[in-house]
Structure 1
Amino acid sequence: MKTVDALKANTLAHQTELHIFSDGPRAGDEAKVQELRNYLTTITGFKKVHLQLQPTNNMFENTTNANMRLNENYGRSIFIEDDIVTSPYFLEFMNESLEKYESNKRVMSIGGYCPPVTFPKNYASDVFFSQIFCPWGLGMWKDRFELVNHAKTTWSRRVEPDIVNSLKYLGKDFVRRYKALCKESVTEVELAAKFDLLATVTMLKHQMFSVQPRQTMIENIGFDGSGLHCHSSDDKFFHKANAQFRPKNFTDDVSPDQRVARNMYMIWSFSKKQNLVMKSFYLLIRYLNYRLHR
């Protein structure tokens, strides 16, 4: 309900068609799912509400099919999961970004989230570009979604040294996750479950970026342990959205700001903040490692 209520409070809600994909129940959850679906039929405040009540419980297949269907019908889509709460200008930001960057093939997607990054004082744009795919509040076009979906069907089980080096440059945890998927027994369901990593690898291979706001426009409320891929130990990524933030300055320079990228690396690599000396040390090692293996 929090997700829907927040979307309903968006400035463009009345101009937006809302598609809801409800996964089928697991054994024993039939009553809970039916209660949820009864609520879904009462939702108003949007241009139109479409309910897709899935008969089976297969989140990854149903999610993939949902994205494919929307992109096939509309050429683009805005996708959020049920533990995402949006700011009032989220839909506005998504639509403006999807329109502006559609023809720029260096842009993979639009993300509504911004980690707790400290931006330089002279940073002028309301957006930044990241080589880390952002699935929290996701805007994507049909051709980019198909690019990642194709990578899923052609996934190499061989660990690629160049990808390892590039992932290590983004954050320490990415390499572990990547190597875990480079195995003979990996299934399509496992790959679908790691869509964010799959997309990040695809972005690296094609030198593409995710566009994100410099202040977060979503809150992930799944850090209480209820989120599928969110745990309380990851709560360093949680911070409040600024309901007044309304991005208007969209730069045409699609390239990452290295000051922001270094800040992102520290967030993705360490659970606690480092002092200036240790931060400088880790960033130097990161840079030398990257140059050495290029």
Structure 2
Amino acid sequence: MHYPVALFCYNRPVHLKRTIAALQKNAGAVDTEVWFFSDGPAGEGDRASVDEVRKIIDNVEGFKRVRVVKNDVNRGLAASIIAGVSAVLAQDDACIVLEDDLETAPFFLDFLNSGLSCYADDSEIFSVSGYCPPIAIPDDYAAEAFRFPRINSWGWGTWRNRWNRVDWDVKDFDAFISNKSRVKELTLLGKDLPVMLLKQQTGKIGSWAVRFNQACFREGKTNIYPVRSLVRNMGADGSGTHVRSTGKYRVQLSPKPLIPHPAFENPQISKAFREFYRPSFYRQMLNKIKIARHLKRLR
């Protein structure tokens, strides 16, 4: 099965060319339908680069079919992804999602397509990831994929019946953030998550991913990851809107194909995953203060 790819782009033509070139080299690319979602310029200063991006996507070849959706206004990444993925999933049971700064290994589509096929009826699985952070995998862990209950937003796939269960308004947020035991449970996925959700719900950031993750957490589901990353984020060079310039997320792409099944939750991998997303002690204290102030306002 070859599921469609939704590729979101904005104003980085150089990165986009690399993303497309890498995807074209994937096994199964010629059998894959690709949707390009191009966001509109936020201001006149972005118009030239957005126009250049649109010239690129208007002339893409190498895939089974190319569809191009151009927004006249600037929706921002969160609204673009929610609307775009919803549009693709209105027509297909599952889809694969990329952004314009993600370089994929030649085996990325195989891993995602296989994962989306074999876990389609496994209600415990919320999404399939192509990215794996640079964490240590135990030598005695023989499988080529593992499970972890935090979603990934860099090269991933999901199904219509999971996506449609997401409450994008997070209507139970105040009840959740007031429940210390539930907040503590969320920190087991990463101590950065509660304050990230708070910022989303108070309008400080616009993140589809933290809301998608909250839906996964609320339902007690988990996600599939490769033991070696099949995606590299080029946007950590400072050119992106949501990722600062950093080497923290730098990975070497897997040199060989990986199989998404079987996949197990492993205590050592889970610990390493949590540690990777652990903020500094200073940042943790600031985050606690922000949450405490919000709770005080709720009283």
Quickly name the TM-score band, shorter chain normalised: 0.7 to 0.9
Q: Spell out the pairing of 1:107-256 with structure 2 (5 A cutoff).
A: 107-148=125-166, 150-152=167-169, 154-158=171-175, 159=177, 160-181=179-200, 186=202, 190=205, 193-233=206-246, 235-242=247-254, 244-248=255-259, 250-251=261-262, 255-256=264-265
For 1:155 and 1:91, how far apart are their aligned partners in 2?
Answer: 35
Task: Output the amino acid matched with 1:205.
Answer: R
How many Å separate the matches in 2 of 1:30 and 1:152?
31
The separation in 1 between residues aligned to 2:49 and 2:94, in whole angstroms, is 32
Displacement of 1:181 in angstroms is 4.2
Is the counterpart of residue 66 in structure 1 residue 80 in structure 2?
no
The CA distance in 1 between the partners of 2:212 and 2:57, in whole Å, is 31
Q: What is the SS of the residue equivalent to 1:77?
A: strand
Find the aligned partners of 1:61 and 1:260 in 2 and give their Cα distance.
Answer: 32
Instruction: State the AA in 2 paired with 1:52.
Output: V
Amino acid at match of 2:135: V
2:240 is aligned with what amino acid?
G
Q: CA deviation at 1:196?
A: 2.0
For residue 137 of structure 2, give the secondary structure of its aligned residue in structure 1: coil
Q: Is the 8 A contact 1:171 1:268 kept in 2?
A: yes
Q: 1:47 Cα shift?
A: 0.6
Q: Name the SS for the 1:19 alignment partner.
A: strand
Distance 1:249 1:30, change over 3 A: closer
> Percent sequence identity over matched residues?
26
1:82 maps to 2:100: yes
- TM-score, with length taken from structure 2: 0.81
Instruction: Tell me if structure 1 keeps the 8 A contact 2:125–2:224.
Output: yes
Deviations 1:17-41 (A, max 9, x none): 1110111123213232222211222
Task: Deviation per CA, 1:204-261: give whole Å up to 9, x if none.
Answer: 221111111000000000111112221124x21211212x22113611x6x5211111
More deviation, 94-103/222-231: 222-231
Equivalent position SS for 1:212: strand
User: In structure 2, what is the Cα distance between the partners aligned to 1:271 and 1:100?
Assistant: 38
How many Å separate the matches in 2 of 1:258 and 1:75? 32
- Richer in helix (by share): 1
Q: List gaps (5 residues or longer) in structure 2.
A: 1-16, 282-299
Inter-partner Cα distance in structure 2 for 1:41 and 1:181: 34
Q: What secondary structure does 1:172 align onto?
A: coil
* TM norm structure 1: 0.83
Count of residue pairs brought into register by the alignment: 261
Q: Give the deviation of 1:157 after TM superposition.
A: 2.4
User: Could you tell me how far apart the structure 2 residues matched to 1:65 and 1:162 are?
Assistant: 33
Aligned to 1:20: 36
Check the 8 A contact 1:236/1:271 in 2, yes or no: no
In structure 2, distance between residues paired with 1:34 and 1:141: 32
RMSD of equivalent CA atoms: 2.0
